[in-house]
C-alpha cells in the first residue's frame, strides 16, 4: 500500500509504517505533519517523576482547512514511537499523545501519554 500524499524528508520509515497502519483511511484529511519533543520540569511532590511538557518542533503544513488535523512524531528508538495527534477547530479540539511499539510488523498501542481538550 502506498500513501497518497507527499511526505516531508524528516518522516522516517517507522513513521511511514505507522501512517499506513493507523491513518490510511484519513490520509487526505491531514493538514500538518511534524516532529515534537518532551521538555521536563521538576516535580516537588514526586522528585523521581518530573513533569512532561510537549513542545512542537519542525512541521510542514500540507493543506489549509478550517478543521485542523495535525500529526507529530517522536521516534524514541528503533521500535518505539510517540505520536501526538491534534484535531478539531482552533479552540475546540482534542490533543492526545500515545506511545506505540513496533513488533512483528505491526504497531501496538502501549499507553496514553497526554490527553486534553482545548
The segments of the chain whose pLDDT lies below 50 read none
The reply to whether 5 falls in a domain is no
The reply to whether 47 falls in a domain is yes
The reply to whether 93 falls in a domain is yes
- For cell 519533543, the residue is 37
The reply to whether 17 falls in a domain is yes
| pLDDT digits 0-9 by tens, 84-112 | 999 988 778 899 999 999 999 999 999 99
**Domain hosting residue 22, numbered range:** 13-117
Helix (H, G, I), strand (E, B) or coil at 12: coil
Task: Say what the pLDDT of residue 72 is.
Answer: 97
Asked if residues 97 and 111 have their Cβ atoms less than 8 Å apart, the reply is no
The reply to whether 7 falls in a domain is no
pTM of the model: 0.90
The reply to whether 44 falls in a domain is yes
Which residues partner with 101 through β-bridges? 80, 108
Q: How many CA atoms lie within 13 A of 103 on its CB side?
A: 5
Asked if residues 58 and 35 have their Cβ atoms less than 8 Å apart, the reply is yes
Task: Say what the pLDDT of residue 76 is.
Answer: 94
Amino acid at each position: 500500500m502506498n500513501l497518497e500524499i507527499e511526505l516531508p524528508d524528516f518522516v522516517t520509515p517507522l513513521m511511514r509504517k505507522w501512517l499506513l497502519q493507523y491513518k490510511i483511511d484519513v490520509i487526505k484529511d491531514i493538514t500538518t505533519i511534524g516532529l515534537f519533543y518532551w521538555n521536563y520540569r521538576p516535580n516537588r511532590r514526586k522528585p523521581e517523576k518530573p513533569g512532561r511538557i510537549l513542545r512542537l518542533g519542525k512541521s510542514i503544513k500540507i493543506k489549509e482547512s478550517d478543521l485542523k488535523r495535525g500529526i507529530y512524531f517522536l521516534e524514541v528508538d528503533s521500535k518505539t514511537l510517540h505520536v501526538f495527534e491534534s484535531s478539531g477547530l482552533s479552540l475546540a479540539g482534542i490533543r492526545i499523545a500515545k506511545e506505540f511499539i513496533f513488533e512483528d510488523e505491526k504497531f501496538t498501542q502501549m499507553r496514553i501519554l497526554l490527553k486534553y481538550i482545548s
